[in-house]
Amino acid sequence: MAVPSSGAGKPLAGALGRGYSRRVPDALFAHHRLAPIYDAFGGARDDLTAYLDIADELGARRVLDIGCGTGCLAILLADRGRTVIGVDPAEASLEVAKAKDRTGRITWVHGDATTVGRAKRREAVLPALGADLALMTGNVAQVFLTDDEWTRTLQGIHAALRSRGYFVFETRRPERRGWEDWVAETAPVTLDVPGIGLVEELSFEVTEVSLPFVSFRYTYRFASDGAVVTSDSTLRFRDRDEVEASLLASGYRVLDVRDAPDRPGREFVFVAERTP
Ligand SMILES: C[S@@+](CC[C@H](N)C(=O)[O-])C[C@H]1O[C@@H](n2cnc3c(N)ncnc32)[C@H](O)[C@@H]1O
């Protein structure tokens, strides 16, 4: 059985481990052996349906997918006729995403929200971005470990949105203490990944809980050459008040805070609007 998707249970996201600051994305997304197996181990992405529905509900035509990873959501949005810009700092994940976008419908940007904001101001990389909607799925919001990183991300997205554009994202509820279930929810798994061969998820362990930070480690073995690759991650758990206050301070109005339909009681889904 494939491990749960990033949305369903234990995380497929993270950081650099101790020190609680991040300069590059985790190996899980940035390593040339691990990015191509992300989708296989992520399993069915039932978590994305709610975001497609939200894009419909908000009437969004131009959509920015921040932390798009291997492009699962971006592809689905483009399939539904939307103009999509996918942004991610992990080049290896972007390569996987681009390979799925055979007709080149999507604009892929190697960077982060601050890259997009700058691009808009300079009218260089992405002229007149003016997105109707920015999305962050797969709990991307938790990869920003410091207040500064989070604030710069909120500001970058603000700059990329049109006036009264929407920003919708999820983050795990800290009071649910999901990390206490992650190990129990993990069964050893070996998958036959097309083009790669048998890959075994050797272990998943929560390595440190030092709230609001939770660190964990994945280890994979590739049958083709016996290579063992490890990825260390840290996520930050912010409570509802903290997220709401940060949105307000960065020029957003919180319109709604919802449940993720596929993960009842586990997530906050924030629906915010850029104030003009
Ligand atoms: C769990 S994955 C989710 C990917 C995708 N949104 C999905 O739902 O499949 C987290 C993603 O966040 C990206 N990420 C890490 N640091 C980031 C940053 N500073 N800005 C934007 N994305 C970042 C990672 O490279 C990775 O692709």
- pLDDT 10s per residue in the chain (276 long)? 233 334 334 454 333 334 455 567 899 999 999 999 999 999 999 999 999 999 999 999 999 999 999 999 999 999 999 999 999 999 999 999 999 999 999 999 999 888 765 554 443 343 348 999 999 999 999 999 999 999 999 999 999 999 999 999 999 999 999 999 998 877 789 999 999 999 999 999 999 999 999 999 999 999 999 999 999 999 999 999 999 999 999 999 999 999 999 999 999 999 999 998
Distance 153 CA to ligand 1 centre (A): 12
Task: State the distance from the centre of ligand 1 to the C-alpha of 114, rounded, in angstroms.
Answer: 14
**Does residue 267 line the site of ligand 1, with CB under 6 A?**
no
Q: How far is the CA of 29 from the centre of ligand 1 (A)?
A: 8
Parallel/antiparallel/unpaired status of strands 252-258 and 228-236: unpaired
**pLDDT for the residue 276:** 84
Give which of 223, 233, 214 is closest to 196, Cα–Cα. Answer: 223
Please name the residue that has the structure tokens 């709990």: 139
- The residue behind tokens 């509802």 is 240
Residue tagged 């509900």 (tokens): 57
- Amino acid sitting at position 176: R
The confidence score (pLDDT) of residue 185 equals 79
**Token representation of residue 145:** 């470990």
**Ligand 1 site, residue 138, Cβ cutoff 6 A:** yes
pLDDT of residue 125: 40
Alpha helices in the chain (DSSP H): 27-30, 38-42, 49-57, 72-79, 91-100, 113-122, 147-160, 179-182, 240-249
Q: How much distance in Å is there from the Cα of 1 to the middle of ligand 1?
A: 24
Site to probe by mutation for ligand 1, drawn from 41, 91, 140 as the one with most ligand atoms within 8 Å of Cβ, is 140
pLDDT at 1: 27
For residue 89, the ligand 1 atom closest to its alpha carbon is 25
**CA–CA gap between residue 227 and residue 10 (Å, rounded):** 24
Q: Taking a C-beta distance cutoff of 8 angstroms, is the pair 191, 162 a contact?
A: no
- pLDDT for res 124: 38
Q: What is the pLDDT of residue 5?
A: 36
Ligand 1 center–CA 126 separation, angstroms: 20
CA torsion sign for 91, 238, 149, 180 is: negative
Amino acid 118: pLDDT: 58
Q: Quick one: pLDDT at residue 21?
A: 55
List the one residue out of 242, 256, 247, 239 whose CA is nearest residue 275: 247
Question: 206 by DSSP, 3-state: which?
Answer: strand
Distance 136 CA to ligand 1 centre (A): 8
The whole-angstrom separation of Cα 153 and Cα 150 is 5
Q: Which atom of ligand 1 is nearest to the CA of 5?
A: 9
Backbone angles phi, psi at 198, to 5 degrees: -75, 130
- 209: three-class secondary structure by DSSP: strand
pLDDT given for residue 184 in this prediction: 82
Q: Which two tokens stand for residue 204?
A: 């998943």
Q: Which two tokens stand for residue 23?
A: 């300069």
> In terms of C-beta density within 10 A (0-12 exposed, 13-18 middle, 19 or more buried), how is residue 270 classed?
buried
Which pLDDT does position 188 carry in this prediction?
Answer: 80
Q: Which of 185, 276, 204, 244 is nearest to 14 (CA)?
A: 204
pLDDT at 64: 96
For 57, other C-beta atoms within 10 Å of its C-beta total 11
Does 84 contact ligand 1 (Cβ within 6 A)? no
Q: From the CB of 3, is ligand 1 less than 6 Å away?
A: no
- If you measure from the C-alpha of residue 40 to the centroid of ligand 1, how many angstroms do you get, rounded to a whole number? 16
Q: Do residues 253 and 272 touch, judged by C-beta distance below 8 A? A: yes
48 Cα nearest atom in ligand 1: 8
Give all strands of the β-sheet with 107-110 in edge-to-edge order. 107-110, 83-88, 62-66, 131-136, 161-172, 267-274, 252-258
CB of 271 sitting under 6 A from ligand 1: no
